[in-house]
Amino acid sequence: MDLILCHTTADFDALGAAVGLTRLLSGSKIVLPGGSHPTVRDFLALHRDEYPLIERRSVNPEKIRSLTVVDTQQRDRLGKAAQWFDLPTVREIIVYDHHLGQESDIPATRSHIDSVGATTTLIVEQLQQQEISLTSAEATVMALGIHVDTGSLTYDQSTARDALALAWLMQQGASLSVISTYRDPGLSPQLQQLLTESLESLEYLCLHGYTVAWVTLKTEVFVPGLSSLASELVELTEIDALLLANEYPLGEEDSRLTVIGRSQIPKTNLNLLFQLLGGGGHSQAASLNLRGVNSQAILKQLLDGIKAQIPHPLTARDLMSSPVRTILPETTIAEAQRILLRYGHSGLFVVDTQGQLVGIISRRDIDIALHHGFSHAPVKGYMTKNLKTITPDTTLPQIESLMVTYDIGRLPVLENEQLMGIVTRTDVLRELHQERDEDEEDEQKFKIQNDAHRLANAALTKSKIPLRTELQNRLAPQLWQLLTTASQEAEKRGWHLYLVGGAVRDLLLTEAVAGTLMIKDIDLVVDGFHKSADVGAGVELAKALQQLYPMARLEIHGAFQTAALLWHKDPELDSLWVDIATARTEFYPYPAANPEVEASSIRQDLYRRDFTINAIALRLTSPRTGELLDFFGGLLDLQAKQIRVLHANSFIEDPTRIFRGVRFAVRFGFQIESQTEEFIRYAINSGVYDRTAQENSRTPALQTRLKTELKHILEAPYWKSALQLLDNLEALQCIHPSLKLDVEVLRQLRLLERCLRRFDPQPTLIHWEMRLETLIAHLTPEYRAKVAKNLQLQEDGIKRLQNLVCAQTEVMESLPKCQSPSQVVQLLRQYDLPMLILIAVQSLRSLRHQIWEYLTVWANVQPLLNGNDLKKLGYKPGPQYRQILDDMLAATLDGVIKDKTEAKEFLAQHYPK
């Protein structure tokens, strides 16, 4: 048996080199002695079957013929597999590495060590020399190894050999979509600098409710990618039209001007404006290039042209109704419900005693509050305070945009802070209906019950996502074909199909090279509610797709009305996960429970989600393929870089949303919107989580689902910032009411990180669990095991926290009494590394120093003679070997024995034959 060994916590370079070696060493197998990095682990979860990987425990040591080690020269980085070097059956040991200047303790018979950016490069060069071709899966993981270890050829240690190796791997079929999934290069530094400069220098003009912005950038040379910069600016700012000018010199007295235009304003046509100056494009996007002109004069001419094209709309004064029914903040939930039932309203405005508007409460918020037993609570605790309001001069397009973007059915009209009237969805629809169907005289037949759907389709949101043809050009062809096929199958049944959630969010946040974007995890939603589609619509569509894609595996989850199609090792789709669900609404029987779901519309499906940025959908079916559904302002929240919850009771129903909100905020660099923060604090301080835990045996959102969110946070590079934000929100109380991120906890976490870096640099421990155990260990002893069991930690972690007090007491009492290193070793070696780390971070400096010295020095000391030596000296093997070796170890630790000669003298003195 020929084995290839990666180091513990294998990275992509180790894995890629090992995969390449399996082609050089025919029949060899790869062993990961100590697991892999989280990203590699995620990769292997989908691709493991592509490579000849075997478990260490399945190896018969007697059959090992050769060992090849990649990306390390140290035995201690190979875990228990290092024992195989001493086997008599091993005839050859080969080392491949790119770390120069290291002293190797591996008994290699042959070594290949050279100064390149990645070990994988050395393997590629040998494959090229032997003219061995690769599969796409093999080329992909090897390319990932070079990309990750060289920073995509940007790190100082990168060489031309690495670049040539990457080029060859691309020729062998390395998947760029997979590589981009695990290695995202981001914007170029030059464009990032210009983006910052543009945001600081943008000038604005507001006209008829629309915002036009312009900026001139002066550079030394031509800058490629300005169109991407223009798109980024439009995404990051709330503007309706943009003129981006770039001026750079061609000589001492000559210059070139490039202008890029973007517009989302109806009835404007940039193509006509730019054609007048020799440019052109489309109505919403155009550009021009000129030499030797006055840049400011050109920019003014284009700006004047846009201003002349902007239409003059109606205003709220022309549309509003008056007076408006209101309630006071002290009105109870029960009374508000009675008013809604009496007058048939779907929401009520809340005003103070001076008649000033302070909030609005919807029927849904009232229903949820009643369900959770808050009928006597005042509406001020549940009303939405961050209202969208308008003035009498607000234009119709602005009103239309607000209603569609934020899913608002009514907008209060304020003048001098007084509520003057209300513009409803019906008011807007009536005007739109008259504009589009001027010849229709029978307005009495206009169906009010269809208003919401008509309005959603009547107004185009400020979508920055590609429409049909742009989307097709941007996505990988095979993925576009799959989505097209799925939409066609939905259309046959009269259903709508949408791409939803994180995939849409990430499309809005990132840019991709045309024709190469291959999303690996897709969520699709079938909306057939208008066609009376039952709960099985998503499952039916998934089954139909599997008939067309028989290589996909079908999984059905009936309780949640979802189905999943999974591709693995597919020649076109590679490894792809597609979830297909029926559009649904959900109902929580009690706070922190799992929701009960039922079929509904796409709008209700999006409303049940956690935050606005995740409640965006992209329509895939005709006639409006590529239309963005953003009922709740998710796009604007992405642009504003804020996390906003969808409804007031969201956190009461599901506390894990608090942790997800924090995770998204820290991950993307967003802020939690002020009212969302208020809702978080209200839910935590209401005591509802304690009550529901006492009244219900199962509270998944405070148990398994909470653990999952903690895992996502604590294994991320931003975990410290996330914990600090959770503590600021007092959300750590969801773990236990007494848990706070005080100075002592922060100190212990810092010490923990030092310990993990020093004693577990290539993680064999699960670091996120160690961080969570450290937090739990800060609780008083009687709560530790209970909290660990509630979060369903691993059994060894629960036992560790359960036994921590006893272990800590013994160490604290006995360690100061130890007079020699051997006594310290005898005391501490009974505990494993995780327990010693937990004890150390909670100990005084003096005790922690002794534990540190034990782990750093004394634990690594071995007797100067081993069992083989004793046998050669004539000692018969038996139980006394253990005592002899222990005594010799103690003498070595205490300095009594310093070399083998003294060891033999010690042996003769204390254990005469």
Q: Are 809 and 882 in contact (CB under 8 A)?
A: no
Helix, strand, coil distribution of the chain in percent, nearest 5: 50, 15, 35
pLDDT at position 487 is 93
When the pLDDT of each residue in the chain is averaged and rounded to a whole number, the result is: 85
Position with higher pLDDT, 253 vs 725: 725
Amino acid code (one letter) for 350: V
Q: Provide the 10 A C-beta neighbour count for residue 59.
A: 16
The structure tokens listed for 51 are 């490579």
326-327/553-557 β-pairing:
unpaired
d(C-alpha 572, C-alpha 480), whole Å: 12
Confidence of residue 667 (pLDDT cuts 50, 70, 90): very high
Q: What percent of the chain has pLDDT over 70?
A: 89
Of the ranges 185-199, 402-416, 698-712, which one carries the lowest mean pLDDT score? 185-199
Q: Over 50: is that where the pLDDT of 67 sits? A: yes
What does 201-232 look like in DSSP terms, one character per residue? H-EEEEETTEEEEEEEEE-SS--TTHHHHHHH
Place of tokens 């309203």: 345
Confidence of residue 46 (pLDDT cuts 50, 70, 90): confident
Q: Are 651 and 610 in contact (CB under 8 A)?
A: no
d(C-alpha 871, C-alpha 540), whole Å: 72
Q: Is the dihedral of CA 123, 124, 129, 131 positive or negative?
A: positive
Confidence of residue 473 (pLDDT cuts 50, 70, 90): low
Q: Which helix (H) or strand (E) holds 785?
A: helix 781-790
d(C-alpha 912, C-alpha 398), whole Å: 99
pLDDT at position 456 is 33
Q: Are 574 and 43 in contact (CB under 8 A)?
A: no
418-424/496-500 β-pairing:
unpaired
Question: What value does the mean pLDDT take over residues 686-705?
Answer: 86
The structure tokens listed for 401 are 């945009």
Confidence of residue 449 (pLDDT cuts 50, 70, 90): very low
Q: What percent of the chain has pLDDT over 90?
A: 47
pLDDT at position 534 is 56
What does 363-431 look like in DSSP terms, one character per residue? HHHHHHHHHTT-TTSBGGGTSB-S---B-TT-BHHHHHHHHHHHT-SEEEEEETTEEEEEEEHHHHHHH
Q: Are 582 and 599 in contact (CB under 8 A)?
A: yes
Q: Is the dihedral of CA 204, 237, 470, 259 positive or negative?
A: positive
pLDDT digits (tens, 9 = 90+) for 491-542: 998 888 999 988 888 777 766 445 566 778 889 999 864 444 455 788 899 9
Q: Over 70: is that where the pLDDT of 463 sits? A: no
Distances (CA, A) of 680 to 53, 85, 636, 662, 674: 46, 57, 21, 11, 10
The structure tokens listed for 200 are 């600081």
Position with higher pLDDT, 854 vs 185: 854
574-582/521-527 β-pairing:
parallel
Distances (CA, A) of 133 to 180, 216, 378, 572: 23, 51, 72, 19
779 SS3 class: coil
pLDDT at position 476 is 78
Question: What value does the mean pLDDT take over residues 655-675?
Answer: 95
Q: Over 70: is that where the pLDDT of 156 sits? A: no
Q: Which residues of 893-907 are buried (b: 16+ CB within 10 A; e: fewer)?
A: beeebeeeeebeebb
Confidence of residue 329 (pLDDT cuts 50, 70, 90): very high
Confidence of residue 227 (pLDDT cuts 50, 70, 90): confident
pLDDT at position 436 is 46
Position with higher pLDDT, 713 vs 267: 713
d(C-alpha 828, C-alpha 857), whole Å: 13
pLDDT at position 443 is 30
The structure tokens listed for 436 are 């589009």
d(C-alpha 252, C-alpha 259), whole Å: 21
Question: What value does the mean pLDDT take over residues 549-565?
Answer: 83
Q: Over 50: is that where the pLDDT of 444 sits? A: no
Distances (CA, A) of 344 to 325, 337, 338, 366, 409: 12, 10, 10, 14, 14
Whole-model pTM: value is 0.53
Q: Over 90: is that where the pLDDT of 807 sits? A: yes
d(C-alpha 803, C-alpha 835), whole Å: 9
Report which DSSP code applies to 7: P
Position with higher pLDDT, 497 vs 557: 497
pLDDT at position 516 is 63
The order of strands in the sheet holding 210-218 is: 203-207, 210-218, 241-249, 255-263, 285-291, 280-281
The structure tokens listed for 749 are 């976490």
pLDDT at position 451 is 37
Q: Rounded to the nearest 5 degrees, what angle is found at the Cα of 743, between the Cα atoms of 740 and 744?
A: 85
Q: Rounded to 5 degrees, what are φ and ψ at 331?
A: -60, 135
In sequence order, which residues have a C-beta less than 8 Å from that of residue 746 and are 6 or more positions away?
A: none
Biggest alpha carbon–alpha carbon distance for the chain: 118
Q: Are 579 and 545 in contact (CB under 8 A)?
A: no
Of the ranges 320-329, 564-573, 816-825, 876-885, which one carries the lowest mean pLDDT score? 320-329
pLDDT at position 531 is 46
d(C-alpha 363, C-alpha 346), whole Å: 5
160: buried, middle or exposed (CB in 10 Å: 19+, 13-18, 0-12)?
exposed
Confidence of residue 275 (pLDDT cuts 50, 70, 90): confident
Question: What value does the mean pLDDT take over residues 723-731?
Answer: 95
Position with higher pLDDT, 184 vs 807: 807
Beta strands in 595-641 (DSSP E): 596-599, 617-619, 628-629
The structure tokens listed for 692 are 């529901």
Position with higher pLDDT, 903 vs 460: 903
Q: Are 368 and 383 in contact (CB under 8 A)?
A: no
The structure tokens listed for 333 are 């939930």
d(C-alpha 661, C-alpha 673), whole Å: 10
Q: Are 591 and 694 in contact (CB under 8 A)?
A: no
d(C-alpha 111, C-alpha 254), whole Å: 60
The structure tokens listed for 771 are 């961080």
29-31/584-587 β-pairing:
unpaired
Q: Which residues of 85-101 are buried (b: 16+ CB within 10 A; e: fewer)?
A: beeeebeebbbbbbeee
d(C-alpha 261, C-alpha 533), whole Å: 44
Q: Are 746 and 690 in contact (CB under 8 A)?
A: no
